[in-house]
A and B are shown apart, each in its own frame.
Chain A
Amino acid sequence: MDLLHDLSYFWPAAITSIGGLAAMMAAAFKTDMRWVNAVAVFTALSATVVAASDLVAGHSGLLFSGMVAHGGTAAFGTFVVSLGTLFTLVLSRSYLEKIGHHYAEVYALILFATTGMIVLASATDLVALFVGLETMSVCLYVLAGLVRERKTGIEAALKYFLLGAFSTGFLLYGIALLYGATMSTSLDVIAATTDKGGLYWAGVGLLLVGFLFKVSAVPFHMWTPDVYQGAPTTITGYMATAAKTSAFVAFILVLGRGLQGSVEQWAPVLEIVALLTMIVGNLIALVQHDVKRMLAYSSIAHAGYALVGLTAGTLSGYDGVLFYLFAYTLMNIGAFAVLAYYETADGQERSTLEQFAGLGWQQPALGVALSIFLFSLAGMPPFAGFAGKYQVFAAAIEQGYITLALVGVLTSAAAAFYYIRVMVYLYFKSPEQPVSLPAVDRLYGWTILLLAGLTILFGVMPSLIVNLF
């Protein structure tokens, strides 16, 4: 049967949606939360394993009457999204317990959002893309406002919802105009179109605006800091990595598959946006005193680096972006996980730099892990962040975008200041009152160390991943 055959290549999405339904039932029947967490983690683990085996198997093609692709870029996107979800779920339990918001619904929403992300990251039709995007976004709006007693939580949810709906409007209008211009929503048909009139270009423009909103590129970045700051920390890590990865993979599929013929027209647009994003993101991050907010601005800057690879508009550029997203997922989830620990460890909320003084000596392994993540985010060798930056900048230089690579390297150097400043506070400042942090949950600690290990591993041997493309 066609449907079952297609489904057999789309297991990760099916698994996560079934897991989400199971978590929802667990919420209804008030199951023991340890079980819910275990089932959710198992779901994400299976999805990751299946996605990895799909990736290694190397088959590719279209499914569901050309709605989604499997293999290649889509398989890699599915893998990174599943991996990010897996780590988020493992890390969320002890954090959510500490902030008193450990509900089964959180797991259901995360797994449903993951389903949407997988569809988004595999879509070869603009309708499937839109459905995936909305499935993801609606779940994330709710997750952002999880801590509803706090004004920041409400602000995050409301801002995310309003601006998300606004940007979705752009995207949808772009899809409608492209459909009007090409008589199809299929990326392959859109790619084959030769008659490019005003309708076509207006559609492409609106589509770009919609995507740039979703990946929080300057000048469409305003929502990011408030949303990332107000959302629960592990969820912020999830939004900054898995959600951004799926949006970027969809961006790659749309540009590389549907609009590759118009690369000369959209590349200059992305070039300017990438320049602005790198400069503005990094400059504002320099003056942040709240570490979570600083990481939010840093995530804007990182979107800029990824856009550099997209601007190149070549296969090596797209592959560079994919590796960058993978590396970014590892190091950013790790960084947010350590922040989540510092924030909740002894009942005193810590978020500003001053409050981080001397914490590095408290739980040395976590301090070292955070330093590794921050060095990696700053793009220092031999960590994964360096390998990612190297690949996107190399792809840009190949295509003659020297300014772009130059600005990228210069802003990275400036960025090193605010990443290293966190470490200065961690190790070289003494706290006003003596603090002693309790030992970290064992699974939590080992997960963070695993992430740190992977950050080093893929920094030293990026070929492990690059050879998969």
Chain B
Amino acid sequence: MFELYFPIAVLAVVAVVLALVLMVLSGILGPKRPDKVKLMPYESGMDPYGQARDRYSVSFYLVAVEFIVFDLEVVFLYPWAVRFLDLDAGAFWAMMVFITVLLLGLVYTLKKGTLDWDSSTAAHNRA
């Protein structure tokens, strides 16, 4: 049992040690010239301060939702594709039905202008 997990344990130890070594080394050797901007919390180049209850465009959420859906589709597709030759026709058609349903969902969202980031046409499509 232990032999099976031994490589993982080695990997974990290496990862921890490497991270510690790099951090310590850069702390000792690296030059430090802090200024106000450099000390700001990092947030993709955006100003990290402001109201917590900011309003975002709903498009962000819609894109995220669609990403999740198709990401999960792939989760199902991979094992199916790997075992494809061993599976019968039923598995093939079941997967086709699954993909068709998701495809129809994509058609719906496209026609509704979900991925249309130009607000004037998007608003027109959603109405």
Contact = CB atoms under 8 A, between A and B. Distances in A.
Interface of A: 1-4, 21, 24-25, 27-29
B98 to A, nearest CB: 12
B104 A1 contact: no
A28 B112 contact: yes
10 contacts: A1-B90, A3-B90, A21-B101, A21-B104, A24-B104, A24-B105, A27-B112, A28-B107, A28-B110, A28-B111
A141 to B, nearest CB: 15
A1 B93 CA distance: 11
Contacts of B111: 28-29
Contacts of A3: 90, 93-94
B118 to A, nearest CB: 19
Contacts of A25: 104, 107-108
What are the 3 tightest A-B residue pairs by CB atom distance, in nearest-first order?
A28-B111, A3-B90, A28-B108
B16 interface: no
A154 to B, nearest CB: 16
A27 B107 CA distance: 11
B89 interface: yes
Interface residues of B, number: 13
A25 B111 CA distance: 9
A25 B101 CA distance: 11
A288 B104 CA distance: 45
Contacts of A21: 101, 104
Interface string B30-51: 0000000000000000000000
Nearest to B93: A3
A4 B108 CA distance: 28
Nearest to A30: B111
Given A1-B89, A28-B110, 16 more contacts: A1-B88, A1-B90, A2-B90, A3-B90, A3-B93, A3-B94, A21-B104, A24-B108, A25-B104, A25-B107, A25-B108, A27-B112, A28-B107, A28-B108, A28-B111, A28-B112
Which one of A2, A27, A28 has the highest number of Cβ atoms from chain B below 10 Å of its Cβ?
Answer: A28
A314 to B, nearest CB: 40
A27 B105 CA distance: 11
A3 B88 CA distance: 11
A120 to B, nearest CB: 19
A29 B93 CA distance: 27
A29 B88 CA distance: 36
Contacts of B101: 21
Nearest to A3: B90
Contacts of A4: 90
Nearest to B112: A28
B114 to A, nearest CB: 11
A27 B108 contact: yes
Nearest to B100: A21
B110 to A, nearest CB: 8
Contacts of A1: 88-90
Contacts of B105: 24
Nearest to A14: B97
A2 B88 CA distance: 11
A263 to B, nearest CB: 38
Nearest to A29: B111
B88 to A, nearest CB: 8
Contacts of B104: 21, 24-25
